[in-house]
Amino acid sequence: MKILILGVNGFIGNALVRRILHTTDWDVYGMDLYSNKLDHALGHPRFRFLEGDIAINKEWIEYHIKKCDVALPLVAIATPMAYVKKPLTVFELDFEENLRVVRQCVQYGTRIIFPSTSEVYGMCADPEFSEDDSTLVLGPIHKQRWIYSCSKQLLDRVIWAYGQEGKLQFSMIRPFNWIGPKLDDLDAAKEGSSRVVTQFILNLLQREPIKLVDGGFQKRCFTYVEDGIDALMAIIQNPGGIADGQIFNIGNPDNEASVKELAYLLRDLFVQHPDHRHDGVYSEIVETRHEDYYGKGYQDIVSRKPSIEKARQLLGWEPKTDLGTSLKITLDAFLEEAKGSAV
């Protein structure tokens, strides 16, 4: 099988290519702006990589969509600070660039596995979000946070419509707060543009206060990336076409925690870490308002829990890694990385 991964140096992309090269005989063609997370893959005989921008290297992309059996367009800005501060950049990259890829998959008959997002459910009040039944609830236009969710939702709808017309073989995944090594760059976290786990780890490393936005009562279900990759591999393998035309929530409902609980768990792990148990001084945990942290364009999701019944039944998938283990692996990897950098 030939697989095209756009955004192969990203958090999901690099973990996926590692798994593919270790456990299959598939060929992978990857593109990304950077290659700093790909040490394990560069030079492998079944991995071809082009360092470049998907907005520029259009011919390379079209050629590879034509050549490959499956395309995974993983390129996207996926941090809430960017949704609020650079909404048009989010739209241009996450929507416009990916729409072109979707259309080329239609043109060349290439199967697509599209990364939708847990964000599409928005402020849905369901205790567990269901792929095929939950209502998608977004805030008003001046709450620019929702541009990411809205961009992804429209692409989901476009892909779905092509599928209904018999023009596109597709599956979609909705990752729920996947965490693990290489989640975000620590440098991005310095600018506040990373996801919460990376942000808190940077705060701990720099002994700055950990900030709980609006008290940190909002909840997420944190999912270990390798569990997520198990599901993604089953979808790529697609025995008997089981994943065709389906949207899958890929999350760990048992790993639910409030942001406040997350902060205390991470700080405890940091304090116990052999390199830091004698630091003496550790980050305080403080509260802040979302207007001060993100700006007025922000609105939050109070609770976000997936129903994973469909992934269980169709893919035989079950997340295995508990929250404490997932956080410890993630923290340890970041601390190791930070040793070799200026953080």
Binding site for ligand UGA (CB under 6 A): 78, 80, 117-119, 175-178, 195-196, 199, 211-213, 216, 218, 220, 259, 300-301
Closest CB to ligand UGA among residues 20, 173: 173
Describe the chain by its helix, strand, coil percentages, rounded to 5. 45, 15, 40
Closest CB to ligand UGA among residues 67, 207: 207
Q: How far apart are CA 335 and CA 343, in angstroms?
A: 10
Q: H/E element holding 274?
A: none
- DSSP 8-state class, residue 316: -
Closest CB to ligand UGA among residues 68, 263: 263
The CB-of-232 to ligand UGA minimum distance in angstroms stands at 14
The CB-of-91 to ligand UGA minimum distance in angstroms stands at 15
Closest CB to ligand UGA among residues 13, 68: 13
The CB-of-225 to ligand UGA minimum distance in angstroms stands at 11
Helix (H, G, I), strand (E, B) or coil at 298: coil
The CB-of-268 to ligand UGA minimum distance in angstroms stands at 17
The CB-of-98 to ligand UGA minimum distance in angstroms stands at 14
Q: What residue ranges in the chain does DSSP mark as E strands?
A: 2-6, 27-32, 47-51, 70-73, 111-115, 170-175, 178-179, 210-213, 219-221, 223-224, 246-250, 256-258, 285-288
Specify the residue for token string 């709980």.
212
CA nearest to 66, candidates 56, 58, 75, 74: 58
Closest CB to ligand UGA among residues 119, 230: 119
